[in-house]
Amino acid sequence: MLSKSSLLTIVLVLSSLAAAEQKPKQLSLPDGTVQSDGVTTCDVTYTSGTSVTTTQFCVTVNGNIPKFSVATEQMMGIAEGYGLCDMTSSTSYYDYGGYDSGNWGPATFTHSGNTITVKRTTTDGNWMLTQTIKNEEASAAGFGSAKISMKYQNLSGTTRQAEVIRYADVDANSDFTNHFDTTSTTAIGLDGDFQHGLLISNNTFNNSYGYLTGVLDIAGIPDPCDPFHFLPPSLPYVGDGSILAMWSFRLAHKASATVTGTYTGI
Protein backbone atom coordinates (compact mmCIF):
# COMPACT_ATOMS: atom_id res chain seq x y z
CA MET A 1 0.00 0.00 0.00
CA LEU A 2 1.29 3.48 -0.89
CA SER A 3 1.97 5.89 1.95
CA LYS A 4 0.25 9.29 2.09
CA SER A 5 3.54 10.96 1.17
CA SER A 6 3.93 8.72 -1.90
CA LEU A 7 0.38 9.43 -3.01
CA LEU A 8 0.97 13.15 -2.58
CA THR A 9 4.13 12.94 -4.69
CA ILE A 10 2.25 11.13 -7.50
CA VAL A 11 -0.55 13.72 -7.43
CA LEU A 12 1.96 16.58 -7.62
CA VAL A 13 3.82 14.97 -10.54
CA LEU A 14 0.61 14.31 -12.46
CA SER A 15 -0.56 17.87 -11.79
CA SER A 16 2.72 19.32 -13.06
CA LEU A 17 2.54 17.16 -16.21
CA ALA A 18 -1.01 18.28 -16.88
CA ALA A 19 0.00 21.91 -16.44
CA ALA A 20 2.92 21.41 -18.83
CA GLU A 21 0.62 19.92 -21.49
CA GLN A 22 -1.74 22.89 -21.18
CA LYS A 23 1.03 25.52 -21.35
CA PRO A 24 0.44 27.68 -24.42
CA LYS A 25 3.00 27.83 -27.18
CA GLN A 26 5.43 30.75 -27.02
CA LEU A 27 5.63 32.78 -30.23
CA SER A 28 8.74 34.23 -31.80
CA LEU A 29 7.58 37.39 -33.57
CA PRO A 30 9.39 39.73 -35.97
CA ASP A 31 9.77 43.35 -34.88
CA GLY A 32 6.77 45.47 -35.79
CA THR A 33 4.28 42.59 -35.66
CA VAL A 34 0.75 43.60 -34.67
CA GLN A 35 -1.98 41.35 -33.35
CA SER A 36 -4.97 41.38 -35.66
CA ASP A 37 -8.63 40.90 -34.83
CA GLY A 38 -10.99 38.49 -36.54
CA VAL A 39 -8.64 37.11 -39.22
CA THR A 40 -8.44 33.59 -37.81
CA THR A 41 -12.19 33.13 -38.31
CA CYS A 42 -13.05 30.83 -41.21
CA ASP A 43 -15.27 32.22 -43.97
CA VAL A 44 -15.38 29.05 -46.11
CA THR A 45 -14.76 25.43 -45.09
CA TYR A 46 -14.15 22.55 -47.50
CA THR A 47 -14.59 18.89 -46.59
CA SER A 48 -13.94 15.94 -48.90
CA GLY A 49 -12.94 12.28 -48.83
CA THR A 50 -14.22 9.38 -46.77
CA SER A 51 -12.97 7.52 -43.72
CA VAL A 52 -9.16 7.69 -43.50
CA THR A 53 -8.82 10.10 -46.45
CA THR A 54 -11.20 12.71 -45.03
CA THR A 55 -9.66 16.15 -45.56
CA GLN A 56 -10.93 19.47 -44.25
CA PHE A 57 -9.54 23.00 -44.46
CA CYS A 58 -10.91 26.49 -44.18
CA VAL A 59 -10.04 29.95 -45.50
CA THR A 60 -10.32 33.38 -43.88
CA VAL A 61 -11.35 36.63 -45.52
CA ASN A 62 -7.67 37.60 -45.75
CA GLY A 63 -6.64 34.34 -47.45
CA ASN A 64 -5.20 32.45 -44.47
CA ILE A 65 -5.76 28.73 -43.85
CA PRO A 66 -5.92 28.44 -40.04
CA LYS A 67 -7.24 24.85 -40.04
CA PHE A 68 -6.24 21.83 -42.12
CA SER A 69 -7.08 18.32 -40.93
CA VAL A 70 -6.55 14.84 -42.34
CA ALA A 71 -8.47 11.86 -40.96
CA THR A 72 -9.82 14.29 -38.30
CA GLU A 73 -6.23 15.02 -37.17
CA GLN A 74 -5.54 18.77 -37.01
CA MET A 75 -2.30 19.87 -38.72
CA MET A 76 -2.10 23.65 -38.36
CA GLY A 77 -0.65 25.37 -35.33
CA ILE A 78 -1.11 29.02 -34.45
CA ALA A 79 0.04 30.67 -37.67
CA GLU A 80 -0.45 30.23 -41.43
CA GLY A 81 -0.14 32.70 -44.23
CA TYR A 82 1.95 34.69 -46.64
CA GLY A 83 4.81 37.14 -46.64
CA LEU A 84 6.48 39.52 -49.07
CA CYS A 85 9.91 41.12 -48.75
CA ASP A 86 10.43 44.14 -50.98
CA MET A 87 14.21 43.74 -51.20
CA THR A 88 14.56 47.07 -52.98
CA SER A 89 13.28 48.98 -49.93
CA SER A 90 13.91 46.26 -47.27
CA THR A 91 10.22 46.33 -46.35
CA SER A 92 8.40 43.30 -44.91
CA TYR A 93 4.70 42.67 -45.52
CA TYR A 94 3.08 39.58 -44.00
CA ASP A 95 -0.16 38.15 -42.68
CA TYR A 96 -0.03 34.90 -40.69
CA GLY A 97 -3.58 34.93 -39.38
CA GLY A 98 -3.71 36.40 -35.90
CA TYR A 99 -0.47 38.30 -36.46
CA ASP A 100 0.55 40.61 -39.29
CA SER A 101 2.84 43.45 -40.27
CA GLY A 102 0.10 46.08 -40.19
CA ASN A 103 0.83 47.39 -43.69
CA TRP A 104 -1.82 45.56 -45.74
CA GLY A 105 -5.04 47.17 -46.90
CA PRO A 106 -8.43 45.45 -46.52
CA ALA A 107 -9.11 42.31 -48.54
CA THR A 108 -11.67 41.69 -51.28
CA PHE A 109 -12.97 38.12 -50.91
CA THR A 110 -14.97 36.13 -53.46
CA HIS A 111 -16.03 32.49 -53.37
CA SER A 112 -17.37 30.30 -56.17
CA GLY A 113 -17.56 26.54 -55.69
CA ASN A 114 -14.09 25.09 -55.07
CA THR A 115 -12.31 28.40 -55.79
CA ILE A 116 -11.65 31.39 -53.54
CA THR A 117 -10.09 34.66 -54.70
CA VAL A 118 -8.62 37.22 -52.30
CA LYS A 119 -7.17 40.58 -53.39
CA ARG A 120 -5.14 42.96 -51.23
CA THR A 121 -2.89 45.96 -51.78
CA THR A 122 -0.12 47.12 -49.45
CA THR A 123 -0.85 50.40 -47.69
CA ASP A 124 2.07 52.14 -49.42
CA GLY A 125 0.51 51.27 -52.79
CA ASN A 126 3.59 49.45 -54.09
CA TRP A 127 2.20 45.90 -54.34
CA MET A 128 -1.05 44.10 -55.09
CA LEU A 129 -1.52 40.45 -54.16
CA THR A 130 -4.20 38.26 -55.75
CA GLN A 131 -4.59 34.84 -54.15
CA THR A 132 -6.48 32.02 -55.82
CA ILE A 133 -7.10 29.13 -53.42
CA LYS A 134 -8.55 25.95 -54.90
CA ASN A 135 -10.00 22.97 -53.08
CA GLU A 136 -8.63 19.80 -54.70
CA GLU A 137 -10.97 17.18 -53.32
CA ALA A 138 -9.89 13.98 -51.58
CA SER A 139 -10.96 10.60 -52.88
CA ALA A 140 -10.85 7.02 -51.68
CA ALA A 141 -7.29 6.90 -53.06
CA GLY A 142 -5.79 9.89 -51.27
CA PHE A 143 -6.07 13.08 -49.22
CA GLY A 144 -7.21 16.42 -50.56
CA SER A 145 -5.17 19.58 -51.11
CA ALA A 146 -5.34 23.35 -50.93
CA LYS A 147 -3.66 24.72 -54.06
CA ILE A 148 -2.64 28.37 -53.60
CA SER A 149 -1.61 30.64 -56.45
CA MET A 150 -0.27 34.07 -55.44
CA LYS A 151 0.02 36.78 -58.09
CA TYR A 152 2.16 39.74 -57.03
CA GLN A 153 2.02 42.89 -59.13
CA ASN A 154 4.49 45.76 -58.84
CA LEU A 155 2.41 48.94 -58.73
CA SER A 156 5.31 51.27 -57.98
CA GLY A 157 7.08 53.38 -60.57
CA THR A 158 10.38 51.47 -60.41
CA THR A 159 11.73 47.94 -60.93
CA ARG A 160 11.74 46.02 -57.65
CA GLN A 161 13.29 42.79 -56.36
CA ALA A 162 11.03 40.65 -54.19
CA GLU A 163 11.05 37.49 -52.10
CA VAL A 164 7.75 35.85 -51.14
CA ILE A 165 6.85 32.96 -48.84
CA ARG A 166 3.98 30.70 -47.85
CA TYR A 167 4.32 29.56 -44.25
CA ALA A 168 2.61 27.19 -41.82
CA ASP A 169 3.29 26.42 -38.18
CA VAL A 170 2.67 22.65 -38.01
CA ASP A 171 1.33 20.97 -34.87
CA ALA A 172 0.33 17.61 -36.32
CA ASN A 173 -2.29 15.90 -34.18
CA SER A 174 -2.29 19.12 -32.10
CA ASP A 175 1.12 18.14 -30.71
CA PHE A 176 4.07 20.54 -30.37
CA THR A 177 6.65 17.81 -31.14
CA ASN A 178 6.67 16.69 -34.77
CA HIS A 179 9.07 15.20 -37.33
CA PHE A 180 10.22 17.54 -40.13
CA ASP A 181 12.17 17.08 -43.35
CA THR A 182 12.50 18.52 -46.85
CA THR A 183 13.24 17.64 -50.45
CA SER A 184 14.27 20.09 -53.17
CA THR A 185 10.61 20.97 -53.79
CA THR A 186 8.71 19.99 -50.61
CA ALA A 187 8.71 20.46 -46.85
CA ILE A 188 6.84 18.14 -44.51
CA GLY A 189 5.77 17.88 -40.88
CA LEU A 190 4.60 14.52 -39.46
CA ASP A 191 2.97 13.55 -36.19
CA GLY A 192 4.90 11.62 -33.56
CA ASP A 193 3.61 8.24 -34.79
CA PHE A 194 4.47 8.96 -38.46
CA GLN A 195 0.80 8.34 -39.28
CA HIS A 196 -0.29 11.68 -40.72
CA GLY A 197 1.17 15.03 -41.62
CA LEU A 198 1.11 18.12 -43.80
CA LEU A 199 3.25 18.77 -46.87
CA ILE A 200 3.85 22.01 -48.75
CA SER A 201 5.12 21.72 -52.31
CA ASN A 202 6.45 24.21 -54.83
CA ASN A 203 4.54 23.98 -58.11
CA THR A 204 6.26 26.87 -59.90
CA PHE A 205 9.30 26.16 -62.05
CA ASN A 206 10.09 29.38 -63.88
CA ASN A 207 13.71 29.83 -64.94
CA SER A 208 13.42 33.53 -64.05
CA TYR A 209 12.44 32.78 -60.42
CA GLY A 210 14.40 31.42 -57.53
CA TYR A 211 12.65 28.89 -55.29
CA LEU A 212 13.34 26.92 -52.13
CA THR A 213 11.43 24.98 -49.47
CA GLY A 214 12.45 24.74 -45.85
CA VAL A 215 11.86 23.77 -42.23
CA LEU A 216 12.20 26.18 -39.32
CA ASP A 217 12.84 25.19 -35.71
CA ILE A 218 10.70 27.93 -34.17
CA ALA A 219 7.24 28.15 -32.72
CA GLY A 220 6.36 31.40 -34.32
CA ILE A 221 6.49 33.36 -37.54
CA PRO A 222 9.36 34.34 -39.86
CA ASP A 223 10.29 37.72 -41.22
CA PRO A 224 9.97 37.37 -45.03
CA CYS A 225 13.14 39.47 -45.38
CA ASP A 226 14.99 36.82 -43.34
CA PRO A 227 12.86 33.67 -43.82
CA PHE A 228 15.56 31.09 -43.04
CA HIS A 229 16.99 32.71 -39.93
CA PHE A 230 15.72 29.85 -37.75
CA LEU A 231 16.94 26.85 -39.72
CA PRO A 232 17.48 23.73 -37.55
CA PRO A 233 21.09 22.56 -37.20
CA SER A 234 20.32 19.42 -39.21
CA LEU A 235 17.52 17.43 -40.84
CA PRO A 236 15.42 15.49 -40.08
CA TYR A 237 14.40 17.80 -37.24
CA VAL A 238 12.26 16.68 -34.29
CA GLY A 239 10.57 19.38 -32.25
CA ASP A 240 8.20 22.33 -32.48
CA GLY A 241 8.66 23.54 -36.03
CA SER A 242 7.14 24.91 -39.19
CA ILE A 243 7.31 24.58 -42.99
CA LEU A 244 7.54 27.10 -45.81
CA ALA A 245 8.04 27.60 -49.53
CA MET A 246 9.93 30.63 -50.86
CA TRP A 247 10.22 32.25 -54.30
CA SER A 248 12.19 35.28 -55.53
CA PHE A 249 11.85 37.42 -58.65
CA ARG A 250 12.50 40.85 -60.16
CA LEU A 251 9.61 42.88 -61.58
CA ALA A 252 9.43 46.02 -63.68
CA HIS A 253 6.72 48.64 -63.14
CA LYS A 254 3.23 47.13 -63.61
CA ALA A 255 4.72 43.63 -64.19
CA SER A 256 3.46 40.64 -62.20
CA ALA A 257 4.69 37.25 -61.06
CA THR A 258 2.55 34.24 -60.10
CA VAL A 259 3.81 31.47 -57.82
CA THR A 260 1.94 28.37 -56.71
CA GLY A 261 2.30 26.14 -53.68
CA THR A 262 0.10 23.30 -52.44
CA TYR A 263 -0.73 21.99 -48.98
CA THR A 264 -1.46 18.28 -49.12
CA GLY A 265 -2.44 15.91 -46.33
CA ILE A 266 -0.48 12.74 -45.74
pLDDT tens per residue across span 61-109: 999 999 999 999 999 998 999 999 999 999 999 999 989 999 999 999 9
pLDDT score for 6: 39
Exposure string for 136-153, b = 16+ CB within 10 A, e = fewer: bebeeeebbbbbbbbebb
Neighbours of 184 (CB within 10 A): 8
Query: Is 244 in contact with 222 (CB distance < 8 Å)?
Result: yes
Q: How confident is the model at residue 51 (pLDDT cuts 50, 70, 90)?
A: confident
Give the residue, 15 or 257, on which the prediction is more confident.
257
Would you call 136 helix, strand, or coil by DSSP?
strand
Q: How far apart are the first and last CA of the chain?
A: 47
What are the chain's domains? 28-265 (2.70.98.10)
Residue 19 has pLDDT above 80, yes or no: no
pLDDT in tens, 209-227: 999 999 999 766 899 999 8
Residue 155 has pLDDT above 80, yes or no: yes
pLDDT in tens, 123-152: 999 999 999 999 999 998 899 999 999 999
Query: How many Å apart are CA 173 and CA 53, to the nearest integer?
Result: 15
Cβ burial, residue 158 (10 Å; 0-12/13-18/19+): exposed
